[in-house]
C-alpha cells in the first residue's frame, strides 16, 4: 500500500512598518504537480521602494522556477543582478527560498542574509544543519530536511526577530522564544498553518506596540492530512449518468456538498430519500439549504453559488472574515475555504431558466459562475479540479 504524502498547508501574514501602506516584505507561493516553492523576500528599508525591490526579487525567483530553471541557476541570476547599496554595502533585498518535494517531503532552504528557518518536526524545535556556498561573490546558506505529517517549517523576516529591540522588551523575543511560542501553539491550538503564523504575528505586534518599527512577515508550512471536499453541482448531460455521479459523491473520502435542487434530487433518488428543507436558513437573496444523510451541505444552485463567489471576494480567502449568518452562501463559502483540495463534479445539462441569451448556447450561467469560483480558490492557493459530466 502506497502511503499518501501529507498536504502542505502554507500561510503568510505580515505587519507593515508604521505609517506605510505597502509592506517591504513579499511572499510568493508556487505549487506544481510535484513540488511547492515558497519565497520570502525582504526589501531594504520600508515603503514603496522596499516593496518594489522585494516584489521583483520574489517574482524573478518564482518565474524562473516556473519555467523549469534549476535552483542553482536561479540563485546565480538573482544574485548577479541584485543591486547593492553603495552606502551600506548590503543587498537591496534578501530572501529565503524553500523547495519541497511532494512525494518524499524532502526540502531544501536557500538563505541569503535572512534569519534562519524554524524547523519543528512533530512540533519540537530542532536545528537544521547548514552548509555555506559562495555564489556570485555572495554567501548563501543551504539547509536540507524532510517534512512528514505533523512537521512545521517557519520563515521569518528580520522584522519579526527585532520586535521590541531597544525597549523594555528587548530580550523578550528572540529565536528561542519564537520557537517555544510555536511549540506551544502547535500543541494547544488547531493544527493549521494559519493558527501558528497568527500566533507569531500577534505576539510580534504586541512587542512593537502601536508603532511597528519594521516590516515583519512570518510564513508557516505545516505538513498535515488534507481537508478534501467534493461539490456535485448540476445534473449530468446524459440522464444515464445520474446514478454514477451520485455514487461517486457518496463514495468520496472527504466532505461532500451538493449545489442545486435537481442535483440534490438525483442523490436523493439514489439513496431513497426525500430532500429535506431547513426553513430557518432562508434569506431574501439566498434560498434555504437542504438536508440529505451522508451529505455535509445541500444548497440551491445558481443563486447560492453566486452568493458564495461574492463572499469569497469580500473575505479575501479568510474564513474568519465571513459573516456569522447561517445561510447557504455563507456555509458554502466556508466549506470551500476550509478545504485544501476541492473537486467539482459539474453537470453540463443546461437549465433554460438560467440561460443567458447573450452567451453562446452551450455556455450556462452556472458554468460561468463556477469558473470564477475556481479562479478565486486557486488564487487562495487551493488545489482545485473540475470534471464536467
3-state secondary structure of 119: strand
List, for residues 336-376, the tens digit of each pLDDT value. Answer: 999 999 999 999 876 655 555 554 444 477 888 999 999 99
Give backbone dihedrals phi and psi of 353, rounded to 5 degrees, phi first: -65, -35
Residues 319 and 334: beta-carbon distance below 8 Å: yes
Residues 139 and 131: beta-carbon distance below 8 Å: no
Over residues 239-256, the mean pLDDT reads 94
Q: 100 or 70: which carries more pLDDT confidence?
A: 100
Q: Tell me, what's the pLDDT at 282?
A: 93
Q: What is the b/e burial string over 274-307, where b = at least 16 CB atoms within 10 angstroms of the residue's CB?
A: ebeeeeebeeeebbbbbbbeebebbbbbbbbbbb
CATH assignment, 7-224: 3.60.40.10
Q: Which of 186, 191, 44 is nearest to 113 (CA)?
A: 44
List, for residues 102-140, the tens digit of each pLDDT value. Answer: 999 999 999 998 999 999 999 999 999 999 988 877 888
Residues 331 and 280: beta-carbon distance below 8 Å: no
Distance CA 14, CA 4 (A): 32
3-state secondary structure of 383: strand
Sign for the CA dihedral angle at 310, 7, 219, 70 comes to negative
The share of the chain scoring above pLDDT 90, in percent, equals: 62
Over residues 57-81, the mean pLDDT reads 85
Over residues 188-203, the mean pLDDT reads 86
Q: 16 or 91: which carries more pLDDT confidence?
A: 16
The whole-chain average pLDDT of the chain stands at: 88
Helices (H), the chain: 47-66, 71-81, 158-161, 175-188, 193-208, 242-251, 261-271, 302-315, 328-338, 365-379
DSSP state at residue 91: B
Q: C-alpha cell of 205?
A: 505586534
Q: Tell me, what's the pLDDT at 360?
A: 47
What is the distance between the terminal CA atoms of the chain, rounded to a whole angstrom?
30
| Radius of gyration over every alpha carbon of the chain, rounded to an integer in angstroms | 24
Q: Tell me, what's the pLDDT at 198?
A: 92
Sign for the CA dihedral angle at 92, 152, 10, 37 comes to positive
Over residues 221-233, the mean pLDDT reads 95
pLDDT band (50, 70, 90) for residue 334: very high
- Please give the model's pTM, rounded to 2 decimal places: 0.80
Residues 182 and 125: beta-carbon distance below 8 Å: yes
Q: What angle do the packed helices 302-315 and 328-338 form, to 10 degrees?
A: 60
Q: Tell me, what's the pLDDT at 358?
A: 54
Distance CA 277, CA 272 (A): 16
pLDDT band (50, 70, 90) for residue 381: confident
- Tell me the DSSP string of 175-240: HHHHHHHHHHHHHHS-S-HHHHHHHHHHHHHHHHTTS--S-EEEEEEEEE---EEEEEES--SSGG
Over residues 243-269, the mean pLDDT reads 95
Say if residue 67's pLDDT is above 60: yes
Question: In which order are the strands placed within the sheet that holds 228-233?
Answer: 276-278, 289-291, 297-299, 255-259, 228-233, 341-346, 383-388
Distance CA 93, CA 85 (A): 10
CA distances to 102, 103, 174, 340 from 2, rounded to whole Å, are: 14, 11, 41, 21
Question: In which order are the strands placed within the sheet that holds 152-156?
Answer: 7-15, 216-224, 152-156, 118-120
Distance CA 389, CA 248 (A): 12
**Residue-range domain boundaries for the chain:** 7-224, 228-388
Q: Tell me, what's the pLDDT at 363?
A: 43
Q: Tell me, what's the pLDDT at 1?
A: 38
pLDDT band (50, 70, 90) for residue 3: low
Q: Tell me, what's the pLDDT at 190?
A: 60
Distance CA 339, CA 335 (A): 6
Q: Tell me, what's the pLDDT at 89?
A: 61
Q: Tell me, what's the pLDDT at 361?
A: 43
Over residues 232-240, the mean pLDDT reads 90
The share of the chain scoring above pLDDT 70, in percent, equals: 90
Percent of the chain as helix, strand, coil, to the nearest 5? 35, 30, 35
Q: Tell me, what's the pLDDT at 357?
A: 55
Amino acid at each position: 500500500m502506497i502511503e499518501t504524502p501529507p498536504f502542505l498547508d502554507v500561510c503568510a501574514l505580515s505587519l507593515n512598518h508604521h505609517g506605510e501602506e505597502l509592506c517591504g516584505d513579499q511572499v510568493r507561493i508556487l505549487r506544481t504537480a510535484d513540488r511547492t516553492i515558497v519565497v520570502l523576500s525582504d526589501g531594504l528599508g520600508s515603503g514603496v521602494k522596499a516593496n518594489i525591490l522585494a516584489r521583483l526579487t520574489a517574482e524573478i525567483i518564482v518565474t524562473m522556477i516556473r519555467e523549469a530553471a534549476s535552483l542553482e541557476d536561479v540563485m546565480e541570476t538573482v544574485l548577479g543582478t541584485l543591486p547593492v547599496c553603495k552606502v551600506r554595502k548590503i543587498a537591496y533585498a534578501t530572501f529565503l527560498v524553500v523547495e519541497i518535494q511532494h512525494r518524499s517531503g524532502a526540502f531544501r532552504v536557500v538563505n541569503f542574509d535572512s534569519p534562519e528557518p524554524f524547523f519543528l518536526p512533530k512540533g519540537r524545535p530542532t536545528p537544521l544543519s547548514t552548509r555555506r556556498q559562495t555564489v556570485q561573490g555572495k554567501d548563501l546558506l543551504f539547509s536540507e530536511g524532510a517534512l512528514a505529517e505533523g512537521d512545521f517549517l517557519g520563515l521569518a523576516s528580520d522584522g519579526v526577530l527585532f520586535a521590541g529591540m531597544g525597549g523594555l522588551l528587548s530580550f523578550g523575543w528572540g529565536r528561542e522564544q519564537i520557537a517555544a511560542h510555536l511549540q506551544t501553539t502547535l500543541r494547544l491550538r488547531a493544527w493549521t498553518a494559519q493558527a501558528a503564523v497568527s500566533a507569531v504575528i500577534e505576539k510580534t505586534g504586541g512587542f512593537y506596540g502601536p508603532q511597528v518599527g519594521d516590516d515583519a512577515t512570518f510564513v508557516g508550512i505545516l505538513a498535515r492530512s488534507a481537508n478534501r471536499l467534493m461539490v456535485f453541482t448540476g445534473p449530468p448531460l446524459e440522464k444515464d449518468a445520474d446514478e454514477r455521479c451520485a455514487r461517486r459523491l457518496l463514495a468520496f473520502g472527504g466532505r461532500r456538498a451538493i449545489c442545486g435542487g435537481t442535483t440534490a434530487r438525483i442523490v436523493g433518488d439514489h439513496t431513497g430519500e426525500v430532500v429535506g428543507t431547513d426553513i430557518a436558513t432562508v434569506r431574501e437573496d439566498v434560498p434555504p439549504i437542504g438536508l440529505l444523510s451522508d451529505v455535509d451541505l445541500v444548497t440551491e444552485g445558481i443563486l447560492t453559488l453566486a452568493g458564495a463567489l461574492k463572499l469569497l471576494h469580500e473575505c479575501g480567502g479568510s474564513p474568519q472574515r465571513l459573516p456569522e449568518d447561517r445561510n447557504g452562501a455563507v456555509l458554502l463559502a466556508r466549506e470551500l475555504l476550509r478545504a485544501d483540495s476541492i473537486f467539482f463534479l459539474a453537470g453540463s445539462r443546461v437549465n433554460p431558466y438560467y440561460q443567458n441569451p447573450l452567451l453562446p448556447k452551450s455556455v450556462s450561467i452556472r458554468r460561468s459562475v463556477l469558473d470564477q469560483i475556481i479562479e478565486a480558490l486557486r488564487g487562495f492557493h487551493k488545489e482545485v479540479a473540475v470534471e464536467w459530466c
